[in-house]
Chain A
């Protein structure tokens, strides 16, 4: 059947039809011939059996009455049957009674004993037996032998008929099938032609022509449908392809851009960069890396990080340590790392290592080396500089402290001066000389003291004068004492300032829980004289507040500063109604506000933000230090110092917010 595979479908179809019809016909003919043969044999057997019966019946008398001649005569009549080769009659005692042979037969006919009325085909002949009876009584038997000469003659005739029929039928089938096979093969061939055209031209717009409504028609429809789908997909695919190509081109451009950017970045960076995959193969590195480590070209070309490492080891001051660190880093792929690498020639590298991720997977490690030799040197220099600076600043700080101290002390000294002038004035103007005069007068009249006192006009007035003088002196003493008291307070304040300034250089001073009003009054008192001198009206608006947890001297210093600033502001304004308002209020549960307001010159908006800067001042002869140190101190106390002013000429309010201790600690 292999040869059939190369045949065209037409030929195959023809072949199938012809083969089928011929074999069917042949089988039918064979059946027909076989049937004919069987029928022929049956007919022959039947004919022979009839003959045997007739002859047997006719010879029964001869047998019964032992007349072989008569039997022989009857058998001789078989000459009329040319096919019968021999015949023979036996008596019932199986003795040969009569025989007959065709003239051309020479052999003796002695058939095998057979069942009654049987037949047997043997050796190209047919033998038939018949038992002869007369009125139910067996009298003998007859055997007839016939040749089968007619069979081959007939068979030959049949075969020639079969041959003719076969030839005629085959010819007819050939003619019919060659025409009819087109019904099947033509649509298939057409379909195949279309398919071929589609395959060769790649033209999916082609369609096969439908010719029938059978399976082939459906096949054509399906084929066309398939083509339509392919065409559709082809179009979509082409569009997608073009789109894809465009996108690929875009991406490529972008990628090229980012790649060149990467390269440029990689090369332009001052760091040496080495990227290694998980297996230790070098993925990429920049020139800087190669030059930093002075790695030979050959080793670079090898792409093996181990070789690179081996090449640089002897440059290092502690290569074993370096190796150990690197191994540690290599062992932990996912961890970042940072090391310092020291070279024998004094160079120092920073070495960063971090994993390289692609999505969530670690694909390698990025080693980053930075030559920090210069920085290290600079650092050393900087440190020296810093030390110097620290020294300098310490001195500067001390100066600042000194300024502060002097400023505060100067302020107090002002009051002290005033008190002192008052006292000395009072003492100078004291009526104490009058007392000396009275004492001299009394000394003069020592002998006649009584007379003097009673008679002398001066003497008589003396007691009343003394009384008046005593009264005056007492008053004077009280005034002086009061001034002295103020002096003492001011001196104490100076002491406190000095002590405070000493403690200022420490981390913090002594923190106490104090009523804020007391502190405010203290501060007011320190400026008492100045305020009195400038006829400033002091308004107190104190609310009930819990004590604050503060360093007393710091707060005092801030408040003194604020009051003095207010006084200056009022002074500068020069208006008759000078008012200083002191307010204490509670803001929230644990903050106390202390505000100092004046209706003086005020602060311009642009200066509002600058008033706390160091060295900022609007006052002639001011240091620009007071508010700065005040703000700093407030911060140290855990509070704030803020300013508010509506503008120039509209006064200003400074508010110091101070923390209260928690309620448990307030008791």
Chain B
């Protein structure tokens, strides 16, 4: 024990005994092995496609946004992500949501087309293909506690809440905090901190 304490107290002037040497060697070996495994795992993981990343982000939004209690029909009611427009996701969501829950709620992906269906969602992703119907869709859900996400340039200007756009080969987040707040949604500062652009704060200040 004394030896152990000694080792810990004085790391600079260390006398490497036989036992310590063996221990050191074992440590180095294990470290090597683990790092190898790490690299192999990294190599095997394929670079995610744009929509895979978007699917992941959409799912992750659920973790950083708080809906008012009325948004759920019951305590175990799932979180509904509605997709509007042309579906580029394919099987992406399957991997993302498989066996996962957020605060005990399951996440369900649904393609929606009518205003009625929009309103049943918690997160509504409006694809680029619906650029023309954007105002229509957004106005349909306006005032409801629905987080709207889009992928077009004018999405925030049209009072959309989060814009996911690929820039410099990376998915960038732009958030219209004012729109979210008007919809009675609370977006975590952690989400805000990773967003490229956050708008609506000043407006928020003006309102208050």
Chain A residues in contact with chain B, CB under 8 A?
Answer: 37, 58, 60-62, 64-67, 70, 93-96, 110, 112-113, 121-125, 134-137, 147-149, 151-152, 155
The answer to whether A134 touches B8 (Cβ under 8 A) is: no
Q: Report which of A66, A147, A151 forms a contact with B53, defined as CB distance below 8 A.
A: A66
Which chain B residue shows the least CB distance to A151? B9
A30 vs chain B, min Cβ distance (A): 11
Using Cβ atoms and an 8 Å threshold, which residues of chain A touch B35? 110
Using Cβ atoms and an 8 Å threshold, which residues of chain B touch A136? 101-104
The answer to whether A61 touches B191 (Cβ under 8 A) is: yes
Query: When A and B form their complex, what is the total count of cross-chain residue pairs whose Cβ atoms lie within 8 Å?
Result: 86
B123 vs chain A, min Cβ distance (A): 14
Question: How far apart are the CA atoms of A221 and B102 in the complex, in Å?
Answer: 90
Question: How far apart are the CA atoms of A94 and B34 in the complex, in Å?
Answer: 11
B177 vs chain A, min Cβ distance (A): 15
The answer to whether B8 touches A151 (Cβ under 8 A) is: yes
Which chain B residue shows the least CB distance to A96? B38
Question: How far apart are the CA atoms of A61 and B64 in the complex, in Å?
Answer: 8
The answer to whether A137 touches B102 (Cβ under 8 A) is: yes
Question: How far apart are the CA atoms of A122 and B191 in the complex, in Å?
Answer: 36
A45 vs chain B, min Cβ distance (A): 13
Question: How far apart are the CA atoms of A300 and B188 in the complex, in Å?
Answer: 141
Q: Mark B55-72, 1 if CB is under 8 A from A, else 0.
A: 001001011100000000
Tell me if B115 is interfacial: C-beta within 8 Å of chain A.
Answer: no
Question: How far apart are the CA atoms of A65 and B192 in the complex, in Å?
Answer: 11
Query: What are 26 sample pairs from A and B whose C-beta atoms fall under 8 A apart?
Result: A61-B64, A61-B191, A65-B194, A67-B194, A93-B41, A94-B38, A95-B38, A110-B31, A110-B35, A112-B31, A112-B34, A113-B34, A122-B27, A123-B7, A123-B24, A124-B11, A134-B60, A135-B63, A135-B103, A136-B102, A136-B104, A137-B63, A147-B11, A148-B9, A152-B8, A152-B9
Question: How far apart are the CA atoms of A64 and B61 in the complex, in Å?
Answer: 9
User: Can you add 12 more A-B contacts, CB < 8 Å, to A64-B194, A95-B42, A123-B24?
Assistant: A37-B5, A60-B190, A62-B193, A64-B60, A66-B53, A93-B41, A94-B38, A94-B41, A110-B34, A136-B102, A151-B5, A152-B10
Tell me if B100 is interfacial: C-beta within 8 Å of chain A.
Answer: yes
Question: How far apart are the CA atoms of A94 and B45 in the complex, in Å?
Answer: 11
A208 vs chain B, min Cβ distance (A): 52
Q: Mark B20-46, 1 if CB is under 8 A from A, else 0.
A: 000010010011001100100110010
A121 vs chain B, min Cβ distance (A): 7
Using Cβ atoms and an 8 Å threshold, which residues of chain B touch A155? 5, 9
Question: How far apart are the CA atoms of A65 and B89 in the complex, in Å?
Answer: 18
A346 vs chain B, min Cβ distance (A): 116
Interface residues in B149-208 by Cβ distance below 8 A to A read 170-171, 173, 188, 190-191, 193-194
Chain B residues in contact with chain A, CB under 8 A?
Answer: 5, 7-11, 14, 24, 27, 30-31, 34-35, 38, 41-42, 45, 53, 57, 60, 62-64, 100-104, 170-171, 173, 188, 190-191, 193-194
Question: How far apart are the CA atoms of A649 and B27 in the complex, in Å?
Answer: 166
The answer to whether A62 touches B30 (Cβ under 8 A) is: no
A-B complex: 7 closest residue pairs judged by Cβ atoms: A61-B190, A124-B11, A152-B9, A64-B60, A67-B194, A65-B194, A134-B63
Using Cβ atoms and an 8 Å threshold, which residues of chain B touch A58? 190
The answer to whether A121 touches B8 (Cβ under 8 A) is: yes
Which chain A residue shows the least CB distance to B196? A67
A560 vs chain B, min Cβ distance (A): 149
Question: How far apart are the CA atoms of A113 and B193 in the complex, in Å?
Answer: 29
Using Cβ atoms and an 8 Å threshold, which residues of chain A touch B11? 123-125, 147-149
Using Cβ atoms and an 8 Å threshold, which residues of chain B touch A96? 38
Using Cβ atoms and an 8 Å threshold, which residues of chain B touch A60? 190
Q: Report which of B8, B30, B62 forms a contact with A148, defined as CB distance below 8 A.
A: B8
The answer to whether A124 touches B8 (Cβ under 8 A) is: yes
B51 vs chain A, min Cβ distance (A): 14
A123 vs chain B, min Cβ distance (A): 7
The answer to whether B173 touches A65 (Cβ under 8 A) is: yes
The answer to whether B31 touches A62 (Cβ under 8 A) is: no
- Pick from B9, B27, B173 the residue with the most CB of A within 10 Å: B9
Question: How far apart are the CA atoms of A60 and B102 in the complex, in Å?
Answer: 14
Using Cβ atoms and an 8 Å threshold, which residues of chain B touch A93? 41, 45
B164 vs chain A, min Cβ distance (A): 10
The answer to whether A65 touches B7 (Cβ under 8 A) is: no
Question: How far apart are the CA atoms of A64 and B42 in the complex, in Å?
Answer: 17
Q: Report which of B27, B63, B100 forms a contact with A64, defined as CB distance below 8 A.
A: B63
Which chain B residue shows the least CB distance to A138? B100
Using Cβ atoms and an 8 Å threshold, which residues of chain A touch B193? 61-62, 70
Using Cβ atoms and an 8 Å threshold, which residues of chain A touch B170? 66
Using Cβ atoms and an 8 Å threshold, which residues of chain B touch A148? 8-9, 11
A367 vs chain B, min Cβ distance (A): 96
B109 vs chain A, min Cβ distance (A): 16
Question: How far apart are the CA atoms of A151 and B24 in the complex, in Å?
Answer: 22
The answer to whether A64 touches B64 (Cβ under 8 A) is: yes
Using Cβ atoms and an 8 Å threshold, which residues of chain B touch A110? 31, 34-35, 38
- Pick from B30, B103, B190 the residue with the most CB of A within 10 Å: B190
Question: How far apart are the CA atoms of A124 and B24 in the complex, in Å?
Answer: 12
A386 vs chain B, min Cβ distance (A): 127
Q: Report which of B24, B30, B57, B64 forms a contact with A134, defined as CB distance below 8 A.
A: B64
Question: How far apart are the CA atoms of A65 and B27 in the complex, in Å?
Answer: 34
Using Cβ atoms and an 8 Å threshold, which residues of chain B touch A112? 30-31, 34
Which chain B residue shows the least CB distance to A64? B60
Using Cβ atoms and an 8 Å threshold, which residues of chain A touch B191? 61, 65
Question: How far apart are the CA atoms of A123 and B190 in the complex, in Å?
Answer: 36
Question: How far apart are the CA atoms of A64 and B171 in the complex, in Å?
Answer: 12
Which chain B residue shows the least CB distance to A57? B190
Using Cβ atoms and an 8 Å threshold, which residues of chain A touch B14? 124
Which chain B residue shows the least CB distance to A150? B9
Which chain A residue shows the least CB distance to B31? A110
Using Cβ atoms and an 8 Å threshold, which residues of chain B touch A121? 8
- Pick from B7, B24, B30, B63 the residue with the most CB of A within 10 Å: B63
